[in-house]
Amino acid sequence: MAVIRQLCLNIPVLFLLDALFGMNGIIWTQLTAEKSAAAPAAL
C-alpha cells in the first residue's frame, strides 16, 4: 500500500497541488494522498 501511495498518488498530487496552491499545496500533499489511499483500502 505504501508503494501505491508514493508512486501513484503522492507524486502526481504533489505536482498538481504545487501548481494550484504553491507552497501550501506541497504541505497538503501528504494528507491528500493518505486520504485518497485510505478510501479504497477501507472497502
Per-residue pLDDT tens digits for 33-42: 888 878 777 7
pLDDT at 1: 64
Number of independent structural domains in the chain: 1
Is 17 inside any structural domain?
yes
Q: What is the pLDDT of residue 5?
A: 67
Q: Is residue 24, in this structure, part of any structural domain at all?
A: yes
Q: How many CB atoms lie within 10 A of CB 42?
A: 6
Q: Which domain holds residue 22?
A: 2-32
In this prediction, residue 15 carries a pLDDT of: 94
Residue 26 covered by a domain: yes
pLDDT in tens, 2-34: 776 678 888 888 999 999 999 999 889 888 888
Convert 12-33 to b/e letters by CB count within 10 Å (16 or more is b).
ebbeebeeeeeeebeebbeebb
